[in-house]
Amino acid sequence: MKKLYIIAVVALLMSGVGRLRAQDHLSVKTNLLYGGYALTPNLGVEVGLLPRWTLEMSGAYNPFNLHGSETDNRKLVHWVAMPEFRYWTCQRFNGHFFGIHGLYGQYNIGGHNLPLLFGRGSDAYRYEGQVLGGGLSYGYSFLLGRRWNLELTIGAGVLYLDYDRYESPKCGLLLESGARKLFFGPTKVGVSLSFLIF
């Protein structure tokens, strides 16, 4: 399933790159909310495909283990790739849009209370695994200048989590292996600053 998803994402990206011409738009962006709240470096690229359609490919990588001591193993180590097709109601990169997005990533999270994903008291454990999901989104892009935009987006859908659960201290004992969970709810939120290259 994971390999099929990765092949599909690469195929979609390649189809979009093949259509890129000088008159098409291209923007580079970062999600300020994700970068600020989760301290996760992230970058996205969005390319115009048709007069009202774009393809966005965003990714994030957080290798930081801020505490990592024997007793405090609080961490939010993860990477994620998030493709999204968008339909713009007026013109690309301006105004309202609706999207369909997917995501795949791997994580090693400990000491964070994430009751929607892992249940109550999740901050007492460490979770290591992968996530696959998708959903629908809505957003609005504000023109800030000739090349700068501020984009607000929110999305909901389903996530499939496959993980192992450990005791929270560093090198904690494995408590549960191969746990699986389906989550229905918010899958995307963003306040992004984008720069239109052309």
Domains and CATH numbers, the chain: 2-196 (2.40.160)
The pair of structure tokens assigned to 184 is: 């229905």
pLDDT digits (tens, 9 = 90+) for 75-88: 888 899 999 999 99
pLDDT digits (tens, 9 = 90+) for 149-167: 999 999 999 999 999 988 8
Question: Is 140:188 a contact under the CB 8 Å cutoff?
Answer: no
Out of 18-22, 92-96, 133-137, pick the least confident. Answer: 18-22
